[in-house]
């Protein structure tokens, strides 16, 4: 199966193609499945950075379908990593549910880039959901000694069991049920963040939820909290 017009565009943008092989799987929660994979030589060729993600290709009734996923525990020396799938309806989740050792999936690396804030922030403020939980966890791993306040939007009660790489002495996790298409999360962050923020030049705010909520909160951070551009990263991870 080819990658269609999207694949052509990614090639023009210097996307690099790889083939991953499944080596194992585990059910993290009823709505999250983790697959372990070999990287087809990718990590040795590209290196690793926090929140690193790839585009995986799936068959959708004979048409190519791609979705982006964050690497979990990438190991360049071993050429391995894992990917966590937030399960719902669709070809990507259908593939993840049935994937078994030996199965392969095509991937394209293009568009993933991230640099840790410098100087290191006094405090991290992270806003995400099940889709961005792996990226959120990679940030906590990259900055293990930086205190963090985390707002995690949950669609299912089991989302509270997602592995975020948190430490009780360093990280404050606030679960917010998804209501009103993300409006409840935006309201809660707007209510609580200003009293916690302190000096905006000495903090770092990372937002990765659905595109509408991400845009709303990024605008709030820039205009009302006056966060400097280097102290704010906002990226919509999915469309409602």
Q: How many percent of the chain have pLDDT more than 90?
A: 82
pLDDT bucket at 15, cuts 50 / 70 / 90: confident
- Please give the pLDDT value at position 9: 62
Residue 10, pLDDT > 70, answer no
Nearest to 150 by CA among 132, 142, 158: 132
- Please give the pLDDT value at position 75: 97
Residue 147, pLDDT > 60, answer yes
Average pLDDT value for residue range 121-149: 95
- Please give the pLDDT value at position 11: 65
Tens digit of each residue's pLDDT (9 = 90 or more) over 95-123 = 999 999 999 999 999 888 888 998 999 99
Q: How many percent of the chain have pLDDT more than 70?
A: 95
Average pLDDT value for residue range 189-217: 95
Q: Is the pTM of this model over 0.85?
A: yes
pLDDT bucket at 90, cuts 50 / 70 / 90: very high
CA 96 to chain centre: 17
- Structural domains in the chain plus CATH codes: 4-109 (2.40.30.10), 123-234 (3.40.50.80)
Note if the bond before 119 is cis, omega within 30 degrees.
yes
Tens digit of each residue's pLDDT (9 = 90 or more) over 19-67 = 999 999 999 999 999 999 999 999 999 999 999 999 999 999 889 889 9
Average pLDDT value for residue range 216-240: 93
Q: Under a CB-based contact definition with an 8 Å cutoff, are residues 238 and 210 in contact? A: yes
Which residues are CB-neighbours of 239 under 8 A, at least 6 positions away? 210, 211
What is the token pair recorded at 233? 């990263």
- Please give the pLDDT value at position 112: 86
Burial 185-218 (b: 16+ CB within 10 A, else e): bbebbeeebeeebeeeeebbbbbbbbeebbebbb
């Amino acid at each position: 199966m080819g990658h269609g017009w999207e694949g052509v565009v990614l090639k023009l943008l210097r996307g690099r193609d790889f083939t991953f092989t499944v080596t194992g799987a585990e059910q993290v929660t009823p709505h999250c499945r983790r697959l372990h994979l070999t990287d087809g030589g990718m990590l040795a060729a590209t290196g690793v950075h926090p929140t690193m993600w790839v585009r995986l290709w799936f068959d959708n009734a004979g048409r190519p379908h791609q979705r982006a996923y964050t690497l979990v525990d990438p190991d360049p020396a071993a050429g391995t990593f894992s990917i966590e799938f937030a399960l719902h309806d669709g070809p990507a989740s259908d593939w993840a549910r049935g994937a078994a050792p030996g199965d392969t999936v095509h991937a394209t690396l293009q568009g993933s880039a991230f640099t840790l804030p410098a100087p290191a922030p006094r405090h991290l403020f992270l806003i995400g959901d099940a889709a961005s939980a792996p990226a959120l966890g990679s940030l906590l791993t990259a900055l293990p000694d930086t205190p963090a306040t985390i707002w995690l939007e949950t669609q299912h009660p089991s989302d509270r069991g997602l592995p975020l790489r948190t430490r009780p002495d360093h990280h404050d996790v606030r679960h917010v049920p998804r209501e009103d298409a993300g409006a409840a999360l935006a309201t809660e962050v707007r209510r609580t963040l200003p009293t916690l923020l302190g000096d905006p030049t000495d903090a770092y705010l990372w937002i990765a939820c659905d595109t509408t909520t991400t845009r709303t909160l990024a605008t709030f951070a820039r205009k009302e909290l006056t966060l400097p551009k280097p102290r704010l990263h906002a990226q919509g991870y999915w469309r409602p």
